[in-house]
Amino acid sequence: MNIQEEAHRSLARLRPWLLRLFKDDAAAWPIFEARLDAGFPRLFELLISLYGTHYDFFYHLEALLKTAAHAHLERTPTLRALDVEREGSGARWYQSEKQVAGVCYVDLYATDLAGIRARIPYLKELGLTYLHLMPLFKAPAGNSDGGYAVSSFREVNPALGTMDQLAALAAELRAEGISLALDLVFNHTSDEHEWALRAKAGDKDYQAFYRMFPDRTLPDQYERTLREVFPEQAPGNFTFVPEVGQWVWTTFNTFQWDLNYANPAVFDAMLGEMLFLANRGVQILRLDAVAFVWKEIGTTSENLPQAHWIIEALNILVKLAAPATIFKSEAIVHPDDVAKYIGRECEISYHPTLMVLLWEALATHEVRLLRHTLAKRFVIPENAAWVNYIRLHDDIGWSFANEDAAELGIDGEAHRNFLNAFYTGQFPGSYARGLPFNYNPRTGDMRISGMAASLNGLETALENHDDAQIELSIARYLLIQGLTLAAGGIPLLYLNDELGALNDYSYRNDPAHAGDSRWVHRPRFNAARWAARTDPASIAGRHYLPLLNMIHVRKAHAAFAANGYANWLESGNPYVLAVERSNIGENVLILANFSEHKQVVNGRFSAGEKPLTDLISGAEYPVEQALTLPPYGMLWLLHH
Ligand code: GLC
Ligand code: GLC
């Protein structure tokens, strides 16, 4: 019997049993059943591949379907209506040019959930349609890796509010046209999560939720092929747990215990946590650290096929119960691997390759690696969208592909060393004020922390009272943030960047944060800076007002939608990036000058007779004329 027949037979057997679960809500069954019929064959195949060798496979399969069915039954009428909309006319809503995303920490940005609620008018002013709140769950006191050590996915950190408040906030945001995104930190829990506490107390079932080892034999074998994510603050990938005398797998910090997805009970438990959040109104689940969820001896234990199967299976199950929910992939890895999580697994994905190459182009002034890479790699499955950003809460790690660089005669490793020197201000002439993050003397690897404005030279320029440099630093910001708006995909703003916020060095005085330079770019909301945003003469206003203009332009033009078409052109000028976007009969040519001098490109791009209009400034350019871009200038030229 082949797998499809087997799937068919299993479903036929399960159907009457599932139907009984719907006895109190018979109207919900046909909808659930239709989704089940569509998703089950592939789900079955994935689960067989993952867990088919378990003697109790069918028991686990039933458990998963029950988790999904119960979650669907628990879902409110409003969310079910949203499901129906997103399965119909609202499908692929995340590809729209109207989408603009923002991300912030609840505590740093607005003290608590009530504070976030009070900021909704500003989020709307900025045009946001999607808000990612950084991990806000119950977490250990002191260092919790910025909340990425979760002690309960069902409890909000009491300092920030309650789960009921979160659900109410999600509803209020939704009414304002803003989708709520939360992290589903599904590779690990904190060592204070109930599952970890039970494991420490000796409960074998919960020890099996993690990857625990009685001695160093296996850990030492694994270590031979693993890398270290945090070599400075958490060297190695295993931590001794004195309570039980065992070693537990900890890819990140010692207090972040990796979950054991080889155990189907873990898969089921995490499905339950996902659906719990989906039913609180969370529409985007950001799957944290996707690359690491499956481990095999003798491998890097990153991006293994099983990691992909797990995510795809979870997506199908989430779609059964709460199809308005989409997944966002956080894979900060080689571009080949980034791409593999997109489409069937996650509808949207961070675009770390674009992010690092925007900074790379600013440092070199040349656009060739950026253009070459994007021409090769920008296209993703048609149901998907990139999330384009310049800065976030994490470091910048130069994850472009060495092969892409080599094709242009660039030595990837040497280039990374240059970029690290440049962004830490050690390269002659550098304006940047980044800090090193996790220098690994063994591999020479290093990443960069820093706020966008500080990396762009604003901090240096302000100290030197150098108006010309201030101007250039702002132009750099508008150039690369503008490209995230125009490139195609969802632009994601790291809130505070839009006001030109600088590095915040106060983390050095906080023992819980001093060892992690990423805190330099996690500043508090600054009311004075925010109030100045509408003053065109202020530093904040000089960032904010032109950005806001570009946001409005983006939203008005379908050419910027993620499902449009991008053509990465040769501009004929090494400093000028040229990309043509088209969609629904609209063509926009984007020209971006990465040099601090003005640059000229010839007008051969314009095919028609009529003048071109720059959507950013409203200026018209006659056809056939050479186009001049100011230092770091950008044009979004609409073909009539
Ligand atoms: C993700 C987060 C990062 C965190 C890590 C471990 O990569 O973005 O901040 O340190 O996961 O959870
Ligand atoms: C590594 C991980 C990524 C994480 C980052 C945190 O790059 O791959 O998931 O965000 O470390 O620094």
Specify the CATH number for the domain of residue 600: 2.60.40.1180
* 519 is a domain residue: no
Last residue of a domain, one of 207, 234, 258: 258
Q: Which two tokens stand for residue 295?
A: 């481990």
Which pLDDT score is estimated for 58? Answer: 97
Spatial separation of the C-alpha atoms in residues 128 and 181, rounded to whole Å: 12
Length reported for the chain: 640
**11 domain residue, yes or no:** no
**What was the pLDDT predicted at 607?**
59
Query: How many angstroms is it from 633 CA to the middle of ligand 2?
Result: 32
SS3 at position 330: coil
397 lines ligand 2 (CB under 6 A): yes
| pLDDT tens column, 56-80 | 999 999 999 999 999 999 999 999 9
CA 91/CA 108 separation, integer angstroms: 34
Structural domain contains residue 205: yes
Going by C-alpha positions, the residue among 199, 195, 177 that lies closest to residue 90 is: 177
Question: Rounded to whole angstroms, how far apart are CA atoms 100 and 561?
Answer: 11
In a domain, 203, yes or no: yes
Beta strands in 121-173 (DSSP E): 130-133, 137-138, 152-156
- Assess if residue 96 is contained within a domain: no
Reading the block at residue 443, the tokens are 């591999």
Ligand lying closest to the C-alpha of residue 188: 1
Whether 288 sits among the annotated catalytic residues: the reply is yes
Domain of residue 247: give its range: 188-258
Mean pLDDT by 10 residues, the chain (640 residues): 93 97 97 97 98 97 98 98 95 97 98 98 98 98 96 98 98 98 97 98 98 98 96 93 98 98 98 98 96 97 97 98 98 95 97 98 98 97 97 97 98 97 96 95 92 98 98 98 98 98 98 96 98 98 98 98 95 96 94 97 69 94 85 93
**609 domain-assigned:** yes
Q: Look at residues 201, 236, 258 and tell me which one is the last residue of a structural domain.
A: 258
Ligand 2 within 6 A of CB of 395: yes
Tell me the percentage of the chain whose pLDDT exceeds 90. Answer: 95
For 505-523, b/e burial (b = at least 16 CB within 10 A) is: eebeeeeebeebbbbbbbb
Nearest to 558 by CA among 484, 478, 486: 486
Task: List the strands of the sheet with 238-241, edge to edge.
Answer: 212-213, 246-249, 238-241
Q: Identify the pLDDT of residue 623.
A: 72
CATH of the domain at 246: 3.90.400.10
Count CB-CB contacts under 10 A for residue 413: 13
The minimum-distance atom of ligand 1 relative to the CA of 392 is 8
Q: Does the C-beta of 338 come closer than 6 Å to ligand 2?
A: no
Kindly report the protein residue whose alpha carbon is nearest to atom 9 of ligand 2: 289
SS (H, E, C) 506-572: HHHHCCCCCCCHHHHHCCCCCHHHHHHHHCCCCHHHHHHHHHHHHHHHHHCCHHHCCCCEEEEECCC
Q: What is the pLDDT of residue 443?
A: 85
Q: Which residue is catalytic, options 258, 330, 459, 516?
A: 330
Token pair for residue 554? 């983006």
Residues 120 and 123: their CA atoms lie apart, in Å, by 5
Reading the block at residue 313, the tokens are 């299976």
Question: Which residue CA neighbors atom 3 of ligand 1 most closely?
Answer: 394
Nearest CA, atom 3, ligand 2: 332
Supply the pLDDT for residue 603: 67
Rama region for 7: left / alpha / beta (φ>0; ψ in -120 to 50; rest): alpha
pTM of the full structure: 0.96
Please give the number of the atom of ligand 2 that sits closest to the Cα of 437. 12
Residue 329, in any domain of the structure: no
Catalytic residue among 112, 288, 312, 360: 288
Whose C-alpha lies nearest to ligand 2, atom 6?
Answer: 394
CB-ligand 2 contact for 637 (6 Å cutoff):
no
Distance between CA atoms of 97 and 37, rounded to whole angstroms?
33
The DSSP symbol for 129 reads S
Nearest-atom number in ligand 2 for the CA of 447 is 12
Atom 9 of ligand 1, nearest CA residue: 394
The total of other beta-carbon atoms located within 10 Å of residue 77's CB is 7
Ligand 2 center to 608 CA (angstroms):
46
Could you tell me if the CB of 445 is within 6 A of ligand 2?
Answer: no
Tell me the CA–centroid distance for residue 183 and ligand 1, in Å: 10
Residue type, 211: R
The answer to whether 105 touches 495, Cβ cutoff 8 Å, is no
The last residue of a domain, from among 196, 229, 258: 258
How many Å apart are CA 458 and CA 75, to the nearest integer? 48
Tokens of 488: 């195609």
Of 391, 523, 380, 449, nearest in space to 102 by CA: 391
Residues with CB under 6 A from ligand 1: 145-146, 148, 185, 252, 288-289, 330, 393-394
**Vertex 440, ends 434 and 446: CA angle to 5°?**
30
For the chain, what is the domain count? 2
- The reply to whether 330 belongs to the active site is yes
Residue 196 domain flag = yes
In short, whether 486's Cβ falls inside 6 Å of ligand 2 is no
Report the alpha-carbon angle 572-574-578, nearest 5. Answer: 60
In this structure, the number of other CB atoms found within 10 A of the CB of residue 441 comes to: 9
